Amino acid sequence: MAGHDHGHTPAAWTGSIIAFIGFCVASAFTVLAQPIGFWAGVVVIFLGGIVGWVMKKAGMGRDETLPRQPGERQPQS
């Protein structure tokens, strides 16, 4: 496991945490039967993806110029 890079970067962690918070918000408002809160949670989920992408473009993501680990799949182009 130590030889693999599974996205342990600030961009990945931040985007995942924001999306998880959005999931929790959307789930809570689903149980409470409040559609406005549900959709606000969905917006937060998408915001997590956007924040992660912006942080990656700002240099806080995985360095794509580094060689890949043996056995790691190549990204599809």
pTM to 2 decimals? 0.74
What's the rounded mean pLDDT across residues 10-27?
93
Q: Would 3 be classed as within a structural domain?
A: no
Mean pLDDT of 39-63: 90
Q: Is the pLDDT of residue 70 over 80?
A: no
Cα separation, 39 vs 7, whole angstroms: 28
Domain count of the chain? 1
56 neighbors 11 (Cβ within 8 angstroms):
yes
Q: Once rounded to an integer, what is the mean pLDDT over residues 29-46?
A: 96
pLDDT for 1 equals 46
Cα torsion for 34, 35, 41, 46, to the nearest 10°?
Answer: 180
In a domain, 21, yes or no: yes
Average pLDDT over residues 20-32: 96
Q: Give a three-class secondary structure readout of 17-36.
A: HHHHHHHHHHHHHHHCCCHH
Q: Is residue 33 part of a domain?
A: yes
pLDDT of 17 strictly over 70: yes
pLDDT of residue 20: 96
- Domain span at residue 16 reads 10-59
Could you list the beta-strand ranges (E) of the chain. Answer: none
